[in-house]
Amino acid sequence: MNHKALLQLIFLHAAAAALISFAFCENAVLKGEDGEFGELPPEDQAPNDIKYNMRKGLDLDQEGCYLQTGKKKCLEECGFNATAKTIFIIHGWTMSGMFESWMQKLVSAVMQREHEANVIIVDWLSMAQQLYPDAVNYTSSVGLDIASMLNWLQDEQQLPLENVHLIGYSLGAHVAGYAGTYVQGTVGRITGLDPAGPMFEGVEEHKRLSPDDADFVDVLHTYTREALGVSIGIQQPIGDIDIYPNGGDVQPGCALGEVLAVASNFMEVMKCEHERAVHLFVDSLMNKDHMSFAFQCTGPDRFKKGICLSCRKNRCNNIGYNTRKMRKRRNSKMYLKTRADTPFGGYHYQMKMHVFNRKHMDTADPTFYLTLYGTHKDAANVYLDVQDDSIGLNLTNTFLVFTEEDIGDLLKINLNWEGEYESWTSVWKNFKTKFWAWDTKPPKPILEVRRIRVKAGETQKKFTFCAEDPSKTEISPGESLTFVKCRDGWEVKPRKRYET
Ligand SMILES: *[C@@H]1O[C@H](CO)[C@@H](O)[C@H](O)[C@H]1NC(C)=O
Ligand SMILES: *[C@@H]1O[C@H](CO)[C@@H](O)[C@H](O)[C@H]1NC(C)=O
Ligand SMILES: *[C@@H]1O[C@H](CO)[C@@H](O)[C@H](O)[C@H]1NC(C)=O
């Protein structure tokens, strides 16, 4: 989209927002019919209007009930239950000055999962709807305000702080961090949903969300792609565990062309990836029996190679609401792949295969596809993603294979080497290798694969697959090989123990 259209769009958003936020404030004032809400002193020009909207029903259009620090009556009216969980949801920077549609989804998912919990929206819209640096500047005072609310609840209701969970999106994650810093005692948990990056990346711990802000701090990073030196979501790990779905950068279903092809395409992509953290969290609340696992890894590249699918010593965890608290281990980076839509969870496999170079393969670069046959269903045409440009010949290669559906236990694998003219990738690869020798017909390359060792990330089960026909282990472009399960585990030879 061109510049002018973008500016117009921003302007329209802002104009609409001005109108609607005016109506919203009116509404909030009307709400104080018992007089209590009218007693607030008139504010000077700086907006510092923070509301604690405790939800009673799933319908966001219905007024909730407003809590106010020091007003015991509000607690009774709102039905605050001090022995139940208390969950604060904190929004981020806003251009529109309105709650975005994710808020409704998150609130209703939390309420459906935790029927008895006190679910409170921290509404700091008037402060968040400022120029970004100003909104950033307000995060600490909003955090302080939440801390005073929590201190008062501790004094007034003996609220146990370990039952408090702060969930903050974008700038709201850092607000939660400040609340955790300022409160007397330690809140149970803070979840950061794609915490904002600009003006927080690389700053000292006390100026952003950090592991000390709660007993357990978990973070989802979904938009850490850098443009012009900044990224919308913070890149560095800032919690006890930091989960980077799909490497934390490109989210499936969000690419240009995949989201609605409207004029605001670029903004839509941005919003889609940044907000994905919220939708993954909502998914984890709703789909309790289809949990997504993340695996600890030192970096996205190693993860994409399939090296990190271990669950030993707490190296894997559920994502989102179901994340298990772990012994303090700062900045543990975890990765997973997801589907493009809810339910986001899929299935990860590590596959190891030794690829022998049999003939004429010194420059070529095979494109492999797999068909996986399982006890529930099959997954066809799964692209074997090669990370380091090309497959290592005469070496054992490790791959990460992802299926969107649960195929059950894997029974059989079909390895297919794409023919020379079956896709643009293959055409291009062949063009590159044959360009200088196109008058001589190159000989047919041959590779050999004898077995594939598989580890399922979700079940941690290991199997060895052997060539179905032991005499057929060689493969050339346009051909395929079939492997069947021949052994549980990965041992090449059965262990010989206690032999006499
Ligand atoms: C308050 O919450 C606790 C714990 O969830 C629950 O056992 C109790 O019944 C709740 N009380 C009321 C009045 O809802
Ligand atoms: C942040 O707010 C304080 C007042 O609360 C002000 O003195 C300071 O200049 C502000 N900083 C920025 C960068 O706007
Ligand atoms: C791999 O092994 C084959 C036969 O054993 C040999 O011809 C080839 O040179 C080896 N090395 C590479 C890099 O392919």
pLDDT (tens digit per residue) in 399-421 = 999 999 999 999 999 999 987 66
* CB 83 less than 6 A from any atom of ligand 1: yes
Paired tokens of 175: 């607000």
Element (H, E) at 78: helix 72-78
Which has more pLDDT, 395 or 1? 395
Flag whether 156 is marked binding: no
CATH number attached to the domain at 51-336? 3.40.50.1820
| Amino acid 54: pLDDT | 95
Confidence of residue 1 (pLDDT cuts 50, 70, 90): very low
Percent over 70 (pLDDT), the chain = 80
Q: Which ligand is nearest to the CA of 118?
A: 1
Paired tokens of 239: 């919690």
pLDDT in tens, 301-350: 999 999 999 999 889 999 999 999 987 667 789 999 999 999 999 999 99
CA of 478 to the centre of ligand 3 (A): 22
CA of 29 to the centre of ligand 1 (A): 31
Residue for token pair 């994905």 = 276
Element (H, E) at 121: strand 118-123
Element (H, E) at 281: helix 265-286
What is the arithmetic mean of pLDDT over 183-190? 98
| Strand pairing category for 446-456 and 164-169 | unpaired
| Amino acid 256: pLDDT | 66
CA of 392 to the centre of ligand 3 (A): 11
| Amino acid 499: pLDDT | 46
CA of 500 to the centre of ligand 2 (A): 80
| Amino acid 266: pLDDT | 75
* CB 184 less than 6 A from any atom of ligand 3: no
Q: Which ligand is nearest to the CA of 139?
A: 2
| Amino acid 422: pLDDT | 64
Side chain identity at 477, as an amino acid letter?
A: P
Write the burial class of residue 155 (CB in 10 Å: 0-12 exposed, 13-18 middle, 19+ buried): exposed
Task: Answer yes or no: is pLDDT of 16 > 80.
Answer: no
Task: Answer yes or no: is pLDDT of 264 > 70.
Answer: no
Which has more pLDDT, 500 or 491? 491
Task: Answer yes or no: is pLDDT of 257 > 90.
Answer: no
Phi/psi at 380 (nearest 5 deg)? -100, 155
Catalytic-labelled residue, pool 126, 140, 145, 194:
194
Q: Which ligand is nearest to the CA of 160?
A: 1
Paired tokens of 55: 């939800």
Confidence of residue 282 (pLDDT cuts 50, 70, 90): very high
Q: What angle do CA 269, 401, 285 make, to 5 degrees?
A: 55
Helix axes 265-286, 3-31, angle to 10 degrees: 40
| Amino acid 438: pLDDT | 53
Q: Which residue's C-alpha comes closest to atom 11 of ligand 1?
A: 81
Residue 274 falls in the annotated catalytic set: yes
| Amino acid 72: pLDDT | 93
| Amino acid 56: pLDDT | 81
Lowest model confidence (mean pLDDT) among 62-66, 171-175, 256-260, 314-318: 256-260
Across the chain, which distance is largest between two alpha carbons, in Å?
Answer: 92
Number of Cα atoms under 13 Å in the Cβ half of residue 412:
12
Residues 6+ apart with CB under 8 A from 389: 365
Write the burial class of residue 204 (CB in 10 Å: 0-12 exposed, 13-18 middle, 19+ buried): exposed
* CB 76 less than 6 A from any atom of ligand 1: no
pLDDT in tens, 80-120: 999 999 999 999 998 888 899 999 999 999 999 999 999 99
Q: What angle do CA 469, 475, 479 make, to 5 degrees?
A: 95
CA atoms of 144 and 473, how far apart (whole Å): 66
Lowest model confidence (mean pLDDT) among 61-65, 141-145, 376-380, 489-493: 489-493
| Amino acid 423: pLDDT | 66
Paired tokens of 255: 């690419």
Residues 6+ apart with CB under 8 A from 171: 92, 93, 128, 135, 136, 139, 196
Mean of per-residue pLDDT scores for the chain: 84
Helix axes 132-157, 171-182, angle to 10 degrees: 40
What is the arithmetic mean of pLDDT over 135-139? 96
| Amino acid 205: pLDDT | 96
DSSP state of 205: G
Which has more pLDDT, 96 or 424? 96
What is the arithmetic mean of pLDDT over 458-464? 95
Residue for token pair 């390359």 = 445
Task: Answer yes or no: is pLDDT of 23 > 80.
Answer: no
Ligand 2 binding pocket (C-beta < 6 A) is: 133-134, 137
* CB 81 less than 6 A from any atom of ligand 1: yes
Paired tokens of 94: 């806003």
Alpha-carbon Rg for the chain in angstroms: 27
| Amino acid 62: pLDDT | 76
Residue 289 falls in the annotated catalytic set: no
CA atoms of 461 and 409, how far apart (whole Å): 9
Catalytic-labelled residue, pool 108, 126, 140, 170:
170
| Amino acid 425: pLDDT | 66
Number of Cα atoms under 13 Å in the Cβ half of residue 181:
19
pLDDT in tens, 35-53: 333 333 344 445 678 999 9
CB 465 within 8 A of CB 378: no
Q: Is 397 helix (H, G, I), strand (E, B) or coil?
A: strand
Task: Answer yes or no: is pLDDT of 260 > 90.
Answer: no
CA atoms of 320 and 292, how far apart (whole Å): 9
Q: What angle do CA 419, 422, 426 make, to 5 degrees?
A: 70
* Domain coordinates in residue numbering, the chain: 51-336, 347-436+444-485
| Amino acid 8: pLDDT | 37
pLDDT in tens, 209-228: 999 999 999 999 999 998 77
Flag whether 208 is marked binding: yes
Task: Answer yes or no: is pLDDT of 200 > 60.
Answer: yes
Which has more pLDDT, 492 or 20? 492
| Amino acid 18: pLDDT | 33
CATH number attached to the domain at 347-436+444-485? 2.60.60.20
What is the arithmetic mean of pLDDT over 287-297? 90
pLDDT in tens, 43-83: 444 567 899 999 987 776 777 799 999 999 999 999 999 99
Side chain identity at 151, as an amino acid letter?
A: N
* CB 393 less than 6 A from any atom of ligand 3: yes
| Amino acid 437: pLDDT | 54
| Amino acid 496: pLDDT | 55
